[in-house]
């Protein structure tokens, strides 16, 4: 039981690392939350600090989810020399999902940044790469297609999140791959949470007031009210 709570806590603390905030202060001596959308996410970093800082933030945020799901979830084997179990939930995939989910929660509500973080899309992608890479690769393909065709990051994020559980169902029942049922259920919950956090973007999309991404060059202090993912 100790290892169960330790894994959850460590995953949350890892996810709580406010990458964009720290990179902003190191690179430009600015608080990313005071510029652009005010969101502590990778898209706002691309917009305000440029592509180099944006790529760095994206890779670190992706790694947070991956490390939690792929490595931290396995600490039960080293702490207690047995798999972590909670009643009937004694599966490796369950702990990977749980650890990755808490990393996403940490990214969205970071302890180190007043519980105001990003929207969790990239960290969730990293978590899912640590669990089942085929379906998340398909989801990211949807994200990129929507992004480059519409230039709306928010729409691409929502489309990618919505499609991911559908790809899991397709792989399990259409191609008969060994996709764990708990992954389908929890991924749907995580995707729903990320979509809900985009509610203001969805409202602006419906109203036709959402801003498009026009460039990956630094904004040089220009304020842009588009919220990022």
In which domain, by residue range, is 138 found? 132-214
- Do 12 and 98 share a domain, yes or no? yes
Would you say residue 221 lies in a domain?
no
Give the residue, 211 or 159, on which the prediction is more confident: 159
- Do 140 and 106 share a domain, yes or no? no
- Do 79 and 153 share a domain, yes or no? no
In terms of DSSP H, where are the helices of the chain? 2-15, 19-27, 42-49, 51-70, 75-79, 92-108, 121-129, 133-150, 153-169, 181-197, 199-207
pLDDT, tens digit, for every residue of 57-92? 999 999 999 999 999 988 877 666 555 554 444 467
Would you say residue 225 lies in a domain?
no
Where among 131, 156, 190 does a domain terminate?
Answer: 131
Residue 39, pLDDT > 90, answer no
- Do 163 and 125 share a domain, yes or no? no
The predicted pLDDT at position 34 comes to 87
User: What DSSP line would sit under 154-186, residue for residue?
Assistant: HHHHHHHHHHHHHHHHIIIIIS-----HHHHHH
- Do 139 and 118 share a domain, yes or no? no
Would you say residue 23 lies in a domain?
yes
Quote the tokens at residue 133. 């890479």
pLDDT, tens digit, for every residue of 17-28? 999 999 999 988
Domain count, the chain: 2
The predicted pLDDT at position 193 comes to 86
Would you say residue 2 lies in a domain?
yes
Query: Which are the contacts of 194, defined by CB distance < 8 A and separation ≥ 6?
Result: 104, 119, 120, 121, 124, 157, 161
Q: How many CB atoms lie within 10 A of CB 223?
A: 11
Query: Which are the contacts of 104, defined by CB distance < 8 A and separation ≥ 6?
Result: 15, 65, 120, 123, 124, 127, 190, 194
Q: How confident is the model at residue 16 (pLDDT cuts 50, 70, 90)?
A: very high
- Do 137 and 176 share a domain, yes or no? yes
- Do 85 and 137 share a domain, yes or no? no
Where among 84, 113, 131 does a domain terminate?
Answer: 131
Where among 113, 131, 149 does a domain terminate?
Answer: 131
- Do 113 and 139 share a domain, yes or no? no
């Amino acid at each position: 039981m100790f290892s169960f709570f330790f894994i959850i806590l460590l995953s949350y603390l890892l996810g709580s690392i406010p990458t964009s905030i720290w990179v902003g202060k190191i690179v430009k001596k600015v608080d990313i939350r005071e510029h652009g959308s005010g969101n502590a996410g990778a898209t706002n970093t691309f917009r305000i600090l440029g592509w180099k800082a944006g790529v760095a933030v994206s890779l670190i945020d992706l790694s947070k989810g991956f490390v939690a799901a792929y490595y931290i979830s396995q600490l039960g084997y080293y702490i207690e020399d047995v798999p972590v179990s909670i009643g009937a939930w004694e599966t490796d995939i369950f702990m990977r999902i749980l650890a990755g989910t808490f990393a996403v929660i940490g990214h969205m509500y970071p302890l180190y940044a007043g519980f105001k973080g990003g929207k969790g899309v990239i960290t969730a992608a990293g978590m899912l790469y640590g669990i089942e890479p085929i379906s998340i690769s398909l989801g990211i393909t949807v994200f990129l297609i929507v992004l480059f065709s519409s230039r709306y990051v928010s729409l691409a994020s929502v489309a990618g999140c919505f499609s991911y559980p559908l790809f899991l169902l397709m792989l399990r029942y259409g191609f008969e791959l060994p996709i764990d049922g708990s992954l389908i259920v929890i991924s749907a919950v995580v995707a729903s949470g990320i979509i809900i956090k985009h509610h203001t973007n969805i409202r602006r999309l419906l109203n036709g007031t959402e801003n498009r991404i026009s460039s990956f060059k630094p904004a040089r202090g220009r304020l842009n009210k588009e919220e990022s993912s």
